[in-house]
């Protein structure tokens, strides 16, 4: 019981430090997934805005294309969130390799 009392503060500090590093690395996949999502959102907005200036079949095609671009834009953050939550982020392994001093 006395040994656990002596080691408890060290274990708490280790856990806090480890969780902080893991969370920083894990959120990188989600944050980086926002870059292509932003690009596809801008493209979708531009296509949607351009389709309002036309008429007929071109306007319908432009709207469908813009909606498709918005759906693709939603796909990236959802997959980034999935990879982050499931722990499949490849950046996590790379960062652990770098921090341990081993070569990849």
Digit-coded pLDDT (tens) for 3-43 = 444 545 554 555 555 554 555 556 788 888 999 999 999 99
Taking a C-beta distance cutoff of 8 angstroms, is the pair 70, 36 a contact?
no
For 21, other C-beta atoms within 10 Å of its C-beta total: 14
Give the distance, in angstroms, between the CA of residue 14 and the centroid of all CA atoms in the same chain.
26
Note the pTM of the prediction, 2 decimals: 0.66
Q: Is residue 96 situated within a structural domain?
A: yes
Q: Is residue 9 situated within a structural domain?
A: no
Q: Is residue 91 situated within a structural domain?
A: yes
Number of domain units in the chain: 1
Tell me the per-residue pLDDT of 78-98, one tens digit each, with 9 for 90 and over: 999 888 888 788 877 777 777
Q: Is residue 13 situated within a structural domain?
A: no
Give residue 79's domain range: 20-100
Q: Is residue 68 situated within a structural domain?
A: yes
């Amino acid at each position: 019981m006395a040994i656990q009392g002596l080691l408890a503060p060290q274990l708490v500090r280790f856990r806090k430090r480890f969780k902080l590093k893991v969370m920083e690395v894990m959120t990188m996949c989600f944050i980086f997934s926002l870059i292509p999502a932003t690009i596809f959102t801008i493209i979708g907005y531009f296509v949607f805005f351009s389709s309002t200036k036309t008429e007929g079949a071109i306007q319908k095609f432009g709207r469908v294309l813009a909606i498709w671009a918005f759906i693709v834009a939603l796909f990236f953050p959802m997959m980034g969130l999935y990879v982050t939550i499931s722990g499949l982020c490849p950046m996590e392994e790379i960062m652990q390799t770098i921090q341990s001093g081993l070569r990849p």
